Amino acid sequence: MDLLTTAEVAEYLRLKERKIYDLVSQGAIPYARVTGKLVFPRQAIDLWVMKHLEGDQALDANTPAVYAGSSDPLLDWALREAETELAQLCNGSGDGITRLLDGRAQLVGLHVIDSTTGRFNDPAHCGLGGMRDLIMLRWAKRTQGLVLPPGNPLGIRGIEDLRRTDLRVVQRQPGAGAQALLLYLLDRAGVQPPPPPRPGHAALDEDAVAVEVGSGRADCGLAIEAAARRHGLDFIALIEEPMDLAMKRRNYFETPIQRLLAFTATERFRETAAAMGGYDLSECTRVLFNA
């Protein structure tokens, strides 16, 4: 992370150092304390400048305090533990993107693969390319794979085995990033996809996939390693995917987002992620896109 000293940020913003101290005392500029000294993350300062260039407007009162999009066990937990007070409405990446565009969510999680390139979360492919105030942050890289009953009684070895007609595969709802990923992996392996799930029979999140497999109602399904672990199920890793967070630029500096970002810097957060398994946090909170 590129950190500026008080003198450096004053020169960068063409302000006097006294003004920087005033902004810090007012809580008006992003900063941190390292060994008692003030430091200023350059990326956060750049976003702060962009926010004020656009006008330091209050949040639209009609935008609900909602996290929408993809479910993720670590993020679900962090949103609560960080006391963000964001309600969670996890109906898949596609639904979250729609809610962000419509002003019905402040923060969205997504993991959307472009089946033609294999790339994840390209704003243009996701339908977010036209947002002039879009910010995207990396949340984590997650290990996705097949969730199986303990002991793998049917001897499933990989995605190619899903061509077997005796397997009951639990699927996610249309628009979910995991469902698009499943279809991508099947196509890449030359496997005919199973029929779409009947209305009311799709698993709505990672845990629901694990519950279907653990209960014996399904033989396998695609989910992240953390979901398999916490339900005591077997797991075959298939791919590492990035999950990212999207928001409007002005929301980046609001209390819910800042609480979440601060919480990701704690040792408790890192320890919990390690215990859950299947997470790479090396790029957590890195700014990926700043429209």
Looking at the fold, whether 232 and 247 belong to one and the same domain comes out as: no
Looking at the fold, whether 30 and 118 belong to one and the same domain comes out as: no
Residue 49, pLDDT > 80, answer no
| pLDDT of res. 1 | 57
Structure confidence at residue 222 as a pLDDT band (50, 70, 90): very high
Domain-terminating residue out of 12, 30, 53: 53
Residue at 40 is within a domain: yes
Residue at 271 is within a domain: yes
| Dist. CA 246–CA 282, nearest whole Å | 18
Question: Span 119-132, mean pLDDT?
Answer: 90
Tens digit of pLDDT for each residue in 181-206? Answer: 999 999 999 999 888 888 888 998 99
Token pair of 99 as six digits: 């809610």
| Dist. CA 164–CA 155, nearest whole Å | 11
Residue at 179 is within a domain: yes
Looking at the fold, whether 148 and 215 belong to one and the same domain comes out as: yes
SS3 annotation, 149-217: CCCCCCCCCCHHHHHCCCCCEECECCCCHHHHHHHHHHHHCCCCCCCCCCCCCCECCHHHHHHHHHCCC
- Percent of the chain at pLDDT > 70 equals 95
Residue at 61 is within a domain: no
254 vs 281, residue with greater confidence: 281
Residue 24, pLDDT > 90, answer no
Residue 233, pLDDT > 90, answer yes
Instruction: Tell me which residue of 136, 84, 114 sits closest to 248, measured CA to CA.
Output: 136
Residue at 203 is within a domain: yes
Instruction: Tell me which residue of 166, 150, 164 sits closest to 210, measured CA to CA.
Output: 150
Q: Phi and psi at residue 266, in whole multiples of 5°?
A: -85, 155
Structure confidence at residue 110 as a pLDDT band (50, 70, 90): very high
Residue 161, pLDDT > 80, answer yes
Question: Span 136-140, mean pLDDT?
Answer: 97
Residue at 58 is within a domain: no
User: What is the chain's length?
Assistant: 291
Structural domain containing residue 219:
144-240
Looking at the fold, whether 127 and 248 belong to one and the same domain comes out as: yes
| Dist. CA 17–CA 8, nearest whole Å | 9
Looking at the fold, whether 133 and 249 belong to one and the same domain comes out as: yes
Residue in the structure block whose two tokens are 């007070």: 85
Work out how many domains the chain is built from and give that number: 3
What beta strand segments (E) does the chain contain? 3-4, 32-34, 37-41, 66-69, 87-89, 107-110, 134-148, 169-170, 220-224, 234-248, 279-280, 287-290
Looking at the fold, whether 80 and 128 belong to one and the same domain comes out as: yes
Instruction: Tell me which residue of 115, 120, 207 sits closest to 170, measured CA to CA.
Output: 207
CATH code for position 200: 3.40.190.10
Tens digit of pLDDT for each residue in 247-267? Answer: 998 888 888 999 999 999 999
| pLDDT of res. 64 | 84
| pLDDT of res. 59 | 46
Token pair of 179 as six digits: 């469902």
Looking at the fold, whether 205 and 219 belong to one and the same domain comes out as: yes
Residue at 168 is within a domain: yes
Looking at the fold, whether 123 and 255 belong to one and the same domain comes out as: yes
Looking at the fold, whether 226 and 169 belong to one and the same domain comes out as: yes
Instruction: Tell me which residue of 225, 245, 286, 258 sits closest to 93, measured CA to CA.
Output: 245
